[in-house]
Amino acid sequence: MPTDSAATWQKKKLFKEFPRILSLLLILLPVSCSARYPEKVPIDPQGIGVKDIYAHPEWTGRIVRICGRYMGWSACDANTSMVTRSDWVLKDSTGCIFVTGGSPKWLYPLNNNATGSFVCIRARIRWFGGKCTLYFIDQGHRRPR
């Protein structure tokens, strides 16, 4: 059993080494976290455009951040298809795509005032039968019209 002076010496040594231990943890933590998601698509500050999604079918299953205008239940390109009747259209300057699995809380397809609202979402890309659809995950920030 360590004596009182030995225990005090061990505590002092631990406090001396604490900055080194902390810096090591701060270095290793981001490295270990980034290793879990090697499949992420590189995203520029404005996000990815619809045209980019259509151009890269190999991105299927990946999560992307995309911004555009909420167009409700309007028609869209031939490259995308509805999965359910409640799917809605996201349109940006490069094209449009159907989004399924929900929508941001403040958007309702029956509300005509919502049509044309700017929206950013995170969604998973899914290709099936040569058509592409986004599966809604969560909303980004809302920006006024």
**Is residue 144 situated within a structural domain?**
no
Task: Clarify whether residues 68 and 128 are in a common domain.
Answer: yes
Measured distance CA(72)–CA(95) in Å, rounded: 15
| Residues 6-54 pLDDT 10s | 666 666 665 667 666 666 555 655 544 433 333 333 344 456 889 999 9
Q: Are residues 85 and 31 in the same domain?
A: no
The domain in which residue 85 lies consists of 50-139
In a domain, 43, yes or no: no
Helix (H, G, I), strand (E, B) or coil at 96: strand
Q: In CATH, what number is assigned to the domain containing residue 58?
A: 2.40.50.140
- Answer whether 119's CB lies under 8 Å from 70's CB: yes
Instruction: State the total domains in the chain.
Output: 2
CA–CA separation, 16 and 10 (whole Å): 10
pTM summary value = 0.63
In a domain, 112, yes or no: yes
Same domain, 65 and 135: yes
